[in-house]
Amino acid sequence: MDQSTLELVKDSLVPLASGLFRGTIPLTLASFPIGLVLALVVALMRLSSVRVLQGIARFYVSVIRGTPLLLQLFLIYYALPSFGLTIDPFPSAVIAFSLNVGGYASEVIRAAILSVPRGQTEAALTIGMSYPTTMRRIVLPQATRVAVPPLSNTLISLVKDTSLASAIQATELLRKAQELAAPTFEFFTLYGLAALYYWVVCLALSFGQTRVETRLNRYVAR
């Protein structure tokens, strides 16, 4: 690596970090919790005995899982203005990512809830617990332990998927790398540096996932 490339890398560290901390991470922190709440609602709808709710939930999951995330971004940012609804890039990305997380995570949560023995739910209802209380105190705490690993993978995927927000002009890590590479033509260097940033964040999340799993396993009866 020659001197000019080293200078470029040094000069690009702060702008790329700005894209990470002002774009990529805020997008992730905004989208993931909203997506989880939506996923829980959809999962409970799938498990409901009301056929209409089941149908709505199945349709939603089918559409989200059956269409590309990039297309979902384009529909929200580029297509909605045709109906008089214009949304800025950042909130458009948050909406798209939240809907996408909701579709995928709902199946994870549904499977985790189903992994809890049905007899525990029946026993709780028998002693007078309401269904919401049973879910909150009996089912969801146990389902959480099962759901943490796949949901953590969903979070890691979301961090990488935020790079697609550059396609709708949202400022995040990849878009910063594109802006820096355009006048210099140092695409390999700057995109490689951006990849390093993504990798470090995902490593940190993987480490956090391991710690959470270890802590949750302490409460498992053996």
pLDDT in tens, 151-206: 999 999 999 999 999 999 999 999 999 999 998 888 999 999 999 999 999 999 99
pLDDT at 219 over 70: no
- Give residue 221's pLDDT: 45
Cβ(102)–Cβ(42) under 8 Å? yes
Nearest Cα neighbor of 89 from 192, 175, 190, 196 is: 175
**Which residue blocks in 116-139 are alpha helix, DSSP H?**
118-126, 131-134
- Give residue 59's pLDDT: 97
- Give residue 22's pLDDT: 93
Cβ neighbours for 161, distance < 8 A, ≥ 6 positions apart: 69, 97, 100
Contacts 24+ apart (CB under 8 A), 175-182: 175/19, 175/23, 176/15, 176/16, 176/18, 176/19, 176/23, 177/12, 177/16, 177/19, 180/12, 180/15, 180/16
Confidence of residue 142 (pLDDT cuts 50, 70, 90): confident
Confidence of residue 125 (pLDDT cuts 50, 70, 90): confident
- Among 88-102, 122-136, 144-158, the minimum mean pLDDT is found in 122-136
Helix (H) or strand (E) holding 204: helix 187-217
Tell me the per-residue pLDDT of 14-65, one tens digit each, with 9 for 90 and over.
Answer: 999 999 999 999 999 999 999 999 999 999 999 988 999 999 999 999 999 9
What are the domain boundaries of the chain? Answer: 3-217
| Average pLDDT of span 84-105 | 96
Cβ(139)–Cβ(113) under 8 Å? yes
Cβ(39)–Cβ(200) under 8 Å? no
Average pLDDT over all residues of the chain: 91
- Give residue 218's pLDDT: 67
Q: How many helices (H) and strands (E) does the chain have?
A: 10, 0
Class of domain 3-217: mainly alpha
- What sign for the dihedral angle of Cα 169, 174, 179, 185? negative
Q: Between 222 and 78, whose confidence is greater? A: 78
Question: What global pTM score does this model have?
Answer: 0.90
Q: Between 22 and 213, whose confidence is greater? A: 22
- Give residue 121's pLDDT: 79
Residue 169, SS3?
A: coil
The one-character DSSP state at 222 is -
